[in-house]
Structures are given as C-alpha cells and as structure tokens.
Amino acid sequence: NAGVTQTPKFQVLKTGQSMTLQCAQDMNHNSMYWYRQDPGMGLRLIYYSASEGTTDKGEVPNGYNVSRLNKREFSLRLESAAPSQTSVYFCASSMNQPQHFGDGTRLSIL
Amino acid sequence: QKEVEQNSGPLSVPEGAIASLNCTYSDRGSQSFFWYRQYSGKSPELIMSIYSNGDKEDGRFTAQLNKASQYVSLLIRDSQPSDSATYLCAATGTASKLTFGTGTRLQVTL
C-alpha cells in the first residue's frame, strides 16, 4: 500500500501564480488534513476534512482553499501565491486518530 | 488556544544512554497522545500511541502518561545515532484534530 501520496514533491512558483497540491490516501480513512511546517513553528493545520463532503478551517487558512474530491482525495489550492507561503506542506489522513502523513511537498515562492 | 509544549532542545545524549523527552498539554479534555519521529527533510512517522495513565512499552521506547499532571513523556533506552531526529508530541483536541508541539531535537553522540 502506498499510504498517503502527495504530488508534486517539489515546486517553485512566482508570486501571484496559482497551483494545486494533490493528496490521495488508500487506507479508506474518513479524515484528511493539510499542514504547513516552517522552521521553529511546528506543524500548523491549514484545513481539514473530517469526512467526505465536509471541510473546515484550521489554524492558518488564509490564502488557501481546499476540495475534498472524494473519500480518497483532498487537494490544497493556492490562488495567488505569496512568498510567505514558502513552506513544506504535509497531507495526513486518519480513521479517528492517529494521523498518517505523506512525504510532503516543498514549495518555494519567489 | 489549546497548546502542547515541548522543549525545543537540542537534547544531547551519548550512545547507549536513556533519552527522556517531555511534553505538557493544556487541554484537559485530550484523551489520546502520540509521539512522532521526524528525520530532517522527511515526514513525521508515528512511533508511539498512549491512551491511559501509566507506561506503555514498545521495544526500546516507553511512553508515559499522567493525565492529572497533563504530562506525557517518551523514554528511549539504549539510544542509537539513528535515533537522532526531532520528536513531536501530539494530543487529540476538538473535531478530529490533533494539536502538535513544536518538537524536541534529539542528538545521540558517539
């Protein structure tokens, strides 16, 4: 089993560009999450989806949108990228807890 | 704001010694607690879960929970250089979410 798969692994954007980070899980988990991790800041929750068809804001949702496409897939969209969104992004999934993480996407915005 | 607090370290221990990592949490409603290990440039990996007061052992790892003191710890016996990583403590919060600490960096020296 692949677990939680994130694409792409690396991306460089220019300020103002848009992009979508993809996440898929094959563990039949109900809940999915998007985090960003910055040095010294730990993991900060951007958005989560407790179940298919629902999404909710986390700690740092500004500048992001999400779509729970189906039970397997949860995407994160940056509509107009800003340098402050340079970070490592992790997707996670769970059936209750604990959460299982994907390998991450390293995103740089110039 | 519910919080999980960890000393950022680095915690330096010699090879073969016991490493003790500590975590406190503010939400008395938290029921489940997790320790994740994160190597540099990698994603968090679940290593221990603990749900009730007392000790839980798994190989060289022991998790300890004291709900009255709102305290969780992780002991690593016979520490190895391969244990050098950042250890994240997490506690369940509201609505399917986890609250993560910022992590303690462990260095195991030869």
Query: Which residue of B lies nearest to A98 if distances are taken between CA atoms?
Result: B34
Q: Quote the minimal CA–CA distance from B8 to chain A in Å.
A: 8
d(Cα B17, Cα B50) in Å, to the nearest integer?
A: 23
Q: What would the pLDDT profile of B65-82 be if each residue is shown by its tens digit?
A: 999 999 999 999 999 999
Provide the mean pLDDT of chain A: 95
Q: How does pLDDT run across A68-110, given as a tens digit for each residue? A: 989 999 999 999 999 999 999 999 999 988 999 999 999 999 9
Condensed to tens digits (0 to 9), the pLDDT of residues A25-63 reads 999 999 999 999 998 888 999 999 999 999 999 999 999
**Which residues, including other chains, have CB under 8 Å from residue B59's CB and lie 6 or more apart?**
none
Please report the number of interchain residue pairs, chain A to chain B, with beta-carbon separation below 8 angstroms: 46
Cα distance between residue B13 and residue B73, in whole Å: 16
Measured between beta carbons, the chain A residues lying within 8 angstroms of B88 are: 42-43
Under 8 Å CB-to-CB from B30, ≥6 apart: which residues? Answer: B2, B91, B92, B93, B99
Q: Nearest C-alpha of chain A: how many angstroms from B49?
A: 8
Mean pLDDT of A13-32: 97
State pLDDT tens for residues B7-60. 989 999 999 999 999 999 999 999 999 999 999 999 999 999 999 999 999 999
**Which chain B residues touch A41 with a CB distance below 8 Å?**
102
Does the distance separating the beta carbons of B97 and A58 come in below 8 Å?
Answer: yes
